């Protein structure tokens, strides 16, 4: 009868070890690897994990940006891309990607072409 608590402890230990979440940095690297293999839905899953599970991470705003970029360029879901860029601009208005996010948001919102929009924005500076 004393064997049951030991088995229970062993099972709980195995479950807790098997479900450990990778670090934010590991998830970011994995997402980039998925992008390199053009596995965009898998990359989105990794970026979403960073966004949801690591709210204080220094990589979070980059994950939000990359999510928007993948949605715009690869998934072709402009509505969700706009939402991602809006989230970035709202939460991180002064980050180094804010200007790019603003331009890409406009591209997504108006179903435009990324290169011509960037060229136009450079002409205005």
CB-based contact 62:28 (threshold 8 Å): yes
Q: Say which DSSP state 89 is in.
A: H
Q: Structure pTM?
A: 0.79
* SS3 state at 1: coil
Along the 125 residues of the chain, how does pLDDT read in single tens digits? 455 655 545 545 555 555 689 999 999 999 999 999 999 999 999 999 999 999 999 999 999 999 999 999 999 999 999 999 999 999 999 999 999 999 999 999 998 777 776 667 667 76
Q: List the alpha helices (DSSP H) in the chain.
A: 3-18, 24-36, 40-53, 60-70, 78-91, 98-109, 114-124
CATH class entry, domain 23-124: mainly alpha
């Amino acid at each position: 009868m004393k064997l049951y608590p030991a088995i229970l402890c062993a099972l709980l230990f195995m479950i807790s070890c098997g479900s450990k979440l990778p670090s934010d940095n590991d998830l970011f690297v994995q997402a980039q690897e998925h992008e390199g293999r053009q596995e965009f839905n898998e990359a989105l899953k990794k970026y979403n994990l960073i966004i949801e599970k690591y709210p204080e991470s220094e990589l979070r705003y980059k994950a939000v940006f990359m999510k928007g970029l993948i949605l715009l360029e690869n998934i072709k879901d402009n509505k969700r891309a706009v939402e991602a860029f809006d989230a970035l601009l709202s939460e991180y208005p002064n980050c180094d990607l804010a200007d790019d996010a603003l331009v890409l948001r406009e591209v997504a919102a108006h179903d435009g072409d990324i290169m011509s929009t960037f060229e136009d924005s450079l002409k205005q500076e």
